[in-house]
Amino acid sequence: MGVRIEVVNLNAWYGTNHSLQDINLNMPGNHATALIGPSGCGKSTFVRCLNRMHETNPIARATGTVRIGDLDIYADAKPVEIRRRVGMVFQRPNPFPTMSIYDNVAAGLKLNGYADHKHLDEIVEKSLKNSALWDEVKDDLRKKSGASLSGGQQQRLCIARALAVDPEVLLMDEPCSALDPVSTSKIEDLIFQLKAQYTIVIVTHNMQQAARVAENTGFFLNGRMVEYDSTHKIFTNPSDKRTEDYITGRFG
């Protein structure tokens, strides 16, 4: 089941650039939280801090507290364990091009030394079903490479790969920005289904998408969290004029 995410006084830097400033918010479990705001406002940096990918950049650092359930991810665990519990889906699909569909899904498990082939088969099937891709690829699992799929299928394959290691949280950094409307609709339907099992955080520039898929929405601007509330309130009666100006298209 998805777990609550609590962020307290999170700050992040790239070199001397103070890219996130004093972020505080609570994201409930088994919900989708959308993060909106203009380009360069800190949304992607924020989600990368939620699974400690931010620190893979040699000039990056972060301070503050991030709790995934009861786990303080900057104090209690190694980054590799955090990234197993907190899956990530990127803006552009990134299947491993030389691997089959099956091996793409199983990659994380094999990397961690998982060798029970029968159970691997079951996990791959379950993950592809949970990403709404199984019926489309079940006859080609070992015949076709992940790169042979369409863009929308590749993104769902990447979601299946993230789900295979049994995370509690799924981070999605603009997962539909490179997709056509039909594929986008499939991903959005999938988010609705996945909320029953996972906590989802989605970065999006698409205001309509945020309104469709997320119970809560946070508005970022210049590295700060301007407003965080129920999605309905953010889009109908925001508390901050900057939020209203952004969602009505006055800037951004």
Q: Where are the domains of the chain?
A: 5-102+166-247
Tell me the pLDDT of the chain (252 aa) as tens digits: 678 999 999 999 999 999 999 999 999 999 999 999 999 999 999 999 999 999 899 999 999 999 999 899 998 778 888 888 999 999 888 899 999 999 999 998 887 677 677 788 899 999 999 999 999 999 999 999 999 999 999 999 999 999 998 899 999 999 998 888 988 998 999 999 999 999 999 999 999 999 999 999 999 999 999 999 999 999 999 999 999 999 988 876
Give the residues across from 14 on adjacent strands.
Answer: 17, 60
Distances (CA, A) of 8 to 86, 136, 152, 234, 238: 18, 42, 35, 21, 23
pTM: 0.91
Instruction: Please tell me the distance from the alpha carbon of residue 212 to that of residue 209, in angstroms, as a whole number.
Output: 5
Given the candidates 3.40.50.300, 1.10.357.10, 3.40.50.720, 3.40.50.1970, the CATH classification of the domain at 5-102+166-247 is: 3.40.50.300
